[in-house]
């Protein structure tokens, strides 16, 4: 039976460190501020931003949320971002995805100041991550996974790791982090995607599996090597007649099957999700420290 990795408990230790850094900034007369913006009324976006707002308040980070209508043009959003980039009272900027289809996310993320890009999506920060340059911002979810592995004393040096999913937000940066030189890297990483052959066989050889494909319960127990570490990043909604809403959320891993085989596993919810928010808060404080040094 696998050891369950408690993401909430590990996130709490990160929050304690962040809160002490916020207090140190306040002693210098600096109030770290995080600007959220979302375009439209996507229900999931409203929930996610609300969670981040509440955590900001709890840690003493000032936050502001700007909600723009669905019909906002790309040019109008870029103009807003340009103003926030120049506002010295704002230290972090987060543009909540998804954006309406007429707005190109890549263009928007590329126009947030790299020094305020606490999501770690700007090409400058992506480049620094790949180069192993610590002066950039690490994307929050991959950064959170690394913190989970570190807290649980999971050995990455020399480990065979499989990352499922080649997305720019999780899969690709996760691959870069695990393969970098350092105490939480030095793994041999295989990046798998929808066109990878023999995924099941590749997973069975892995010491660490990071599942971020966005496919409900894709990783079955039969795909996991005995004693492997399994990190479930996926969030998928599936039909469930027994649920009050008619559906429920599941990860990319068939949890009960995996629990019988893995050595350590993240639950979903309660695994990676809390760490993503914890890393966002940490990045915001880091941005404030750097911008006011």
Exactly one of 117, 119, 207, 232 is catalytic; name it: 119
Domain boundary, last residue among 98, 115, 132: 115
Q: Are residues 111 and 148 in the same domain?
A: no
pLDDT score, position 44 = 87
Strand, coil or helix: 35:
strand
When pLDDT is cut at 50, 70 and 90, the band that residue 7 belongs to is: very high
Which candidate, 270, 230, 274, places its Cα nearest to that of 254?
A: 230
Q: Are residues 67 and 177 in the same domain?
A: no
Report whether pLDDT(237) > 90: no
Average pLDDT of the chain, as a whole number: 96
Q: Does residue 33 carry a catalytic annotation?
A: no
pLDDT score, position 246 = 84
DSSP characters over 206-228: -SEEEE-S--TT-B-GGGS-TT-
Average pLDDT of span 214-222: 97
174/276 Cα distance (integer angstroms): 13
Report whether pLDDT(241) > 90: no
Q: Are residues 154 and 217 in the same domain?
A: yes
Q: Are residues 244 and 159 in the same domain?
A: yes
pTM for this entry: 0.96
pLDDT score, position 248 = 86
- Asked if residue 5 is part of any domain, the answer here is no
Domain boundary, last residue among 67, 99, 115: 115
- Asked if residue 186 is part of any domain, the answer here is yes
Percentage of the residues of the chain whose pLDDT score is greater than 90: 93
Q: Does residue 180 carry a catalytic annotation?
A: no
293/289 Cα distance (integer angstroms): 6
> Per-residue pLDDT tens for 260-273?
999 999 999 999 99
When pLDDT is cut at 50, 70 and 90, the band that residue 12 belongs to is: very high
How far, in Å, are 9, 51, 149, 195 from residue 80 at the CA level? 37, 23, 38, 39
User: What CATH number does residue 234 fall under?
Assistant: 3.40.50.720
The number of domains in the chain is 2
- Asked if residue 161 is part of any domain, the answer here is yes
Q: Are residues 224 and 145 in the same domain?
A: yes
Which candidate, 194, 251, 197, 255, places its Cα nearest to that of 224?
A: 255
- Asked if residue 92 is part of any domain, the answer here is yes
pLDDT score, position 52 = 96
Q: Are residues 104 and 179 in the same domain?
A: no
- Asked if residue 132 is part of any domain, the answer here is no
Q: Are residues 78 and 158 in the same domain?
A: no
Q: Are residues 173 and 251 in the same domain?
A: yes
In terms of residue numbers, what domain contains 191?
140-272
- Asked if residue 99 is part of any domain, the answer here is yes
When pLDDT is cut at 50, 70 and 90, the band that residue 193 belongs to is: very high
Q: Are residues 172 and 103 in the same domain?
A: no
Exactly one of 80, 96, 207, 232 is catalytic; name it: 96
User: What CATH number does residue 59 fall under?
Assistant: 3.40.50.10860
- Asked if residue 3 is part of any domain, the answer here is no
- Asked if residue 160 is part of any domain, the answer here is yes
Beta strand pairing call for 236-239 and 247-250: antiparallel
Average pLDDT of span 87-95: 98
Q: Are residues 172 and 243 in the same domain?
A: yes
Q: Are residues 154 and 252 in the same domain?
A: yes
When pLDDT is cut at 50, 70 and 90, the band that residue 147 belongs to is: very high
Which candidate, 10, 18, 80, places its Cα nearest to that of 284?
A: 18
Which candidate, 145, 132, 91, places its Cα nearest to that of 114?
A: 91
> Per-residue pLDDT tens for 20-33?
999 999 999 999 99
Q: Does residue 87 carry a catalytic annotation?
A: no
Q: Are residues 247 and 171 in the same domain?
A: yes
Exactly one of 33, 52, 80, 128 is catalytic; name it: 52
């Amino acid at each position: 039976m696998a050891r369950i990795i408690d993401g909430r408990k590990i996130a709490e230790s990160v929050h304690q460190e962040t809160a002490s850094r916020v207090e140190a900034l306040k002693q210098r007369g600096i109030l770290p501020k995080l600007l959220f913006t979302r375009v439209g009324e996507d229900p999931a976006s409203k929930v996610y931003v609300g969670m981040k707002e509440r955590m900001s308040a709890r840690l003493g980070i000032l936050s502001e949320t700007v909600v723009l209508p669905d019909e906002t043009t790309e040019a109008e959003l870029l103009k807003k971002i340009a103003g926030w980039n120049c506002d010295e009272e704002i230290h972090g900027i987060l543009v909540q995805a998804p954006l309406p289809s007429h707005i190109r996310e890549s263009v928007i993320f590329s126009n947030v100041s790299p020094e305020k890009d606490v999501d770690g999506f700007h090409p400058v920060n992506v480049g620094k991550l790949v180069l192993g340059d610590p002066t950039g911002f690490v994307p929050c979810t991959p950064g959170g996974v690394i913190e989970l592995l570190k807290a649980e004393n999971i050995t990455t040096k020399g480990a065979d790791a499989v990352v499922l999913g080649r997305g720019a937000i999780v899969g690709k940066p996760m691959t870069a982090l695990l393969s970098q030189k350092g105490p939480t890297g030095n793994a041999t990483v295989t990046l798998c995607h929808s066109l990878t052959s023999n995924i099941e066989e590749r997973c069975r050889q892995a010491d660490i599996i990071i599942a971020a494909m966005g496919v409900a319960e894709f990783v079955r127990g039969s795909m996991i090597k005995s004693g492997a570490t399994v990190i479930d990043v996926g969030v998928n909604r599936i039909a469930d007649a027994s649920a009050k809403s008619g559906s429920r959320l599941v990860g990319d891993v068939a949890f009960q099957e995996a629990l019988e085989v893995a050595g350590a596993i993240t639950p979903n919810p309660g695994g990676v999700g809390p760490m993503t928010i914890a890393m966002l808060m940490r990045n915001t404080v880091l941005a404030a420290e750097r911008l006011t040094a």
